Amino acid sequence: MIAVASGANDPTALFNTVSIDGSIYTMPQLAFFATGCLLWVVAYAFVLLQAHRNRVVEMAVLAAASNLAWEFVWGVPLHTDMGVFLVWTYRAWLLFDLFIFHQVLKLGREQFTTDFFKRHYNAIVCATVVFFVAVYWGMSLSGIDSPIGARSAYVCQFIISVLCLILLVQQPSTVGYAWTITWLRSLGTLLVSVFMVLHYPKDVFLLVLCAGATVLDAFYCVYFLRLRTNKTVAMPAQVAA
């Protein structure tokens, strides 16, 4: 296996510096992207640990469904062109997220207050996964995604950033939540966003989503730190739906 393929895109190389669209992945770009992706892997491990310890999933349910859909699409039928290391990083996300999704089905029902959503919870969440699989795969089939799934990834990321912030602001305290998860996922997304700015400087659609996710994640971090001063012992709040 070639460690770094620089002449042409090689699907067996550990890293590729040439995309299938002809653009160049510089070593700094690859470093930003790979580091950000690995931080998300670690964040997923802590999400599972938190779910086991506190019986709470620290992710909005519908954001988790969207996230699983994207990771399935880009971990199974589609593959990034950045090399084997990132292909398997995407698959590591999928593996962790399958376990997280299991916890979502077990524990996420309490995020909703409406009886209809509670009664049909599993069906609604699974249907959301199927819908977003169609959306994210459809973006690639329609030629509106990039060779690494960047545009669909940031649609997914924006959904995560919005819904997780909405969930957080309804909490009376950070009991059951972990600062480690917050900074890992926020920093991971920021590093990947730096890659997007460097590699896709003219993709206005993508950069708007990057900026939006960055701002929302910053608000999340600030609000989390302010909320952490609240020592009230309470279970996480529910989402009205």
As a three-state string, the secondary structure of the chain is CCCEECCCCCCCCCEECECCCCCECCHHHHHHHHHHHHHHHHHHHHHHHHHHHHCCCCCCHHHHHHHHHHHHHHHCCCCCCCCHHHHHHHHHHHHHHHHHHHHHHHHHHHHECCHHHHHCHHHHHHHHHHHHHHHHHHHHHCCCCCCCCHHHHHHHHHHHHHHHHHHHHCCCCCCCCCHHHHHHHHHHHHHHHHHHHHHCCCCHHHHHHHHHHHHHHHHHHHHHHHHCCCCCCCCCCCECC
- What dihedral do alpha carbons 143, 145, 148, 150 form, nearest 10°? 170
Which of the two residues, 235 and 50, has the higher pLDDT score? Answer: 50
What are 153's two structure tokens? 């990834």
In whole numbers, what is the pLDDT of the chain averaged over residues? 91
Q: Per residue in 193-211, pLDDT tens?
A: 999 999 999 999 999 999 9
Distance from C-alpha of 76 to C-alpha of 79, rounded to nearest angstrom: 7
Please determine, for residue 4, whether its predicted confidence score (pLDDT) is greater than 50.
Answer: yes
Q: Look at 31-45, 123-137, 142-156, 167-181 and tell me which has the smallest mean pLDDT.
A: 167-181
CB 189 within 8 A of CB 214: yes
Among 103, 104, 91, 81, residue whose Cα is nearest residue 30: 81
- Global confidence as pTM: 0.90
Write the pLDDT tens digit of every residue in 48-89: 888 888 887 788 899 999 999 999 999 999 999 999 999 999
Quote the pLDDT of residue 231.
Answer: 55
- The pLDDT assigned to 241 comes to 42
Cα 141 versus chain centre, distance: 21
pLDDT computed for residue 40 by the predictor: 95
Neighbouring C-alpha atoms within 13 Å toward the C-beta of 110: 12
Confidence of residue 229 (pLDDT cuts 50, 70, 90): confident
Q: Which of 46-60, 131-145, 215-229 has the lowest mean pLDDT?
A: 46-60
Residue 234 reports pLDDT greater than 50:
no
pLDDT of 236 over the 80 cut? no
Contacts of 87 (CB under 8 A, 6+ apart): 79, 80
The arithmetic mean of pLDDT across residues 213-223, rounded, is: 97
**Range in 3-7, 121-125, 218-222 the model is least confident about:** 3-7
**pLDDT at residue 238 is higher than 60:** no
Give the model's pLDDT for residue 108. Answer: 86
Residue of higher predicted confidence among 58 and 121: 121
